[in-house]
Amino acid sequence: MSDLAAIARERAVLTVIADAVVQASVGKGLRVAVACPNSHLALVDHLAQALHARGRACRCLPMTPNPRDAVPPDRQATGSTIVVIASGPNTEVDRGTRRVNISVIADVQRDGELSHSESDEAYSWATGDSDIIIDYRNPDGPVIRYMAPYLAAQDQP
């Protein structure tokens, strides 16, 4: 697959995700946690840009572990990073914040061997499950493997 086709596919995936997240967070603060391999960190910036283009002024925050948001111990071993995209009011006690957890599955290079950064059962650091799973192992480019029903049901009142 050509690089341009892969970029176009990634942008299409991000468009679907950004549209769903923006609609699900109308009138609320937003906190999107993206757990991804270090080789795919540009995805977080592209998602923040897509959210910003839809009217959500966003900023990327460094992940600061706390007891409520525990990072799984295998994250450092797999070369994964968690980046938080925040928009609007965002405090630990703010009940008006829409929290969305995204896991990215990709092939990564480790010690000369290609391996998966996550298992097929992607894990979200905050709740133990993901609202969205993006899979980069597809030879035609990234695909959305899972989107939580509250995000996928955009046409319902």
Instruction: Render each residue's pLDDT in the chain as its tens digit; 157 residues.
Output: 568 888 899 999 999 999 999 999 998 889 999 998 988 889 999 999 999 999 999 888 866 544 444 444 444 445 678 888 888 765 555 668 899 999 999 875 444 444 444 433 444 444 458 999 999 998 888 999 999 999 986 544 3
The pair of three-digit structure tokens given for residue 134, joined into one six-digit string: 């993006």
Cα(134)–Cα(144) distance, integer angstroms? 5
Decide: 46 and 11 in contact? Cβ < 8 Å.
Answer: yes
- Work out the angle between the directed axes of helices 3-24 and 42-53 (0-180°, nearest 10): 50
Within a 13 Å sphere around the CA of 3, how many CA atoms are in the beta-carbon half?
0
